[in-house]
Structure 1
Amino acid sequence: MFEFIKGTVDFVGPEYVVIENNGIGYKILTPNPFLFSKETGKVIRVYTYHYVREDIISLYGFMTREEKALFTRLLNVSGIGPKGALAILASGEPEQVVQAIENEDEAFLVKFPGVGKKTARQMILDLKGKLHDLVPDFFPDLFNANESAAADSVDFDEALQALQALGYSEKEIRKITPELRKEKLSTEQYIKKALQKLLK
């Protein structure tokens, strides 16, 4: 409903800020309200998301469009509501979150408040490969890297299949996947490196 609100920072609290525009004070919930403290009394632009449910109507605000874009996408993940999405954004930079999802880095994602292994896995299942349509301009290097790595995906996939054939479980393989993805190797090299990690 509202793309952004431009007004004066009137109040900064522990959970929200108040932006005054034409005599109206908008209560806006935001990941890190105290980032607005240095803007008190100044006119700023806050990118907003109008959240409406049967039992609640709230306005969420962000300093950048990429934060807002990631927030709205996180809301589509089963098990993550507005409070959970805000906590994730408050604890990490958008680029870090996107990279963790793209790299299937569950260990990083479970560090966020309220995110357990099940939710982290759901985030990856729901969002991996689907964020570039929302934030390509913000993280061009990340997605260009993913595209250039696409040519190596065949070798990578073949290596994972070989590991499964050797009897390793999906859970074991998934644990070492983020580290393997960082490198461009042949199928044989991927398998060798994976076995070194699995046998530690």
Structure 2
Amino acid sequence: MIAFIEGKIDAIEESSVFVLVNGIGYEVVCANPYQFQQQINESVRIYTYHYVREDQQLLYGFRQYEEKQLFAKLLNVSGIGPKGALSILATTSVYDIALAIEQEDEKFLTQFPGVGKKTARQMILDLKGNVAEWMNQSTDKSLNENNLDETQSTQSNQEEFEEALEALKALGYSDREIKRISPQLRQADCSTIDDYVKAGLSLMVQG
């Protein structure tokens, strides 16, 4: 099992990042690959989940260890595969997901892509009591080190906004859907590309 990878971000694609470690390039599938846009050629640690099937082997990557743990738990829920688990984690924080499960908030859980009432109920049945530890902590601490300085220019914020739109497109949303939420997203209180992406995904879920 590969617990984590520590190396330099070499490249970013629509669904993955490439991490260079001692001359070897690892492709790591991520929920929001563009969250690493500002760290190209910089050293990072990505917590990984090695997914193995008869016809496929993939490395899934996460900024936070808690995200990796929740991903593994979600895979044990009937009706949720790797793609669905990533979509859930891309939409909100581990804290919010744990809170919804512990409070049996089916309405909140059914907002996630591909999660209907049956799957939401299964998530609650399988995971309630096993995720309570994450209700008392935020999983976004690592983003603080990437926050932009308060004096950053409007031009730079615009660049991050546009990068976030590209990331949403890479996640499968249409130009029409992106155009619909763009005015609200532009007004969102965001300071990084990842902030914009998460805000955009939240707006998509709200319809």
Tell me the TM-score normalised to structure 2 length.
0.64
The runs of at least 4 consecutive aligned structure 1 residues that moved more than 3 Å come to 138-142
CA deviations on 1:7-56 (whole Å, 9 max, x unpaired) are 00011111100000011110000111110111111000000000001121
Shift of 1:140: 3.3
How far is 1:116 from its partner?
Answer: 0.7
**Deviations 1:97-151 (CA, angstroms, capped at 9, x unpaired):** 110001100101011111111100100000001124xxx3x54369xxxxxxxxx
TM-score calculated relative to the size of structure 1: 0.67
1:11 matched to 2:7? The reply is no
Question: Partner of 2:153 in structure 1?
Answer: none
Letter in 1 for 2:95: E
Find the counterpart in structure 1 of residue 24 from structure 2. Answer: 24
Q: 2:131, 2:53 → 1: CA distance?
A: 25
Structure 1: state its 5+ residue gaps. Answer: 143-200
What is the number of equivalent residue pairs in this alignment?
138
1:1-200 to 2 correspondences below 5 Å: 1-132=1-132, 136=133, 138-140=134-136
2:18 and 2:117 map into 1 onto residues whose CA distance is: 35
Larger Rg: 1
Structure 2: segments with no counterpart, 5+ residues? 139-207
Of structures 1 and 2, the one scoring higher in RCO (CA 8 A, sep 6+) is 2
* Contact 2:95–2:136 under 8 Å retained in 1: no
Aligned equivalents of 1:72 and 1:139: distance in 2?
17
> CA RMSD, aligned part only?
1.4
Match of 1:96, SS state, is: helix
For 2:137 and 2:54, the matched residues in 1 are separated by 40
CA distance in 2, matches of 1:60, 1:141: 23
* Percent of pairs with identical residues: 54
CA–CA distance in structure 2, aligned partners of residues 71 and 141 of structure 1: 17
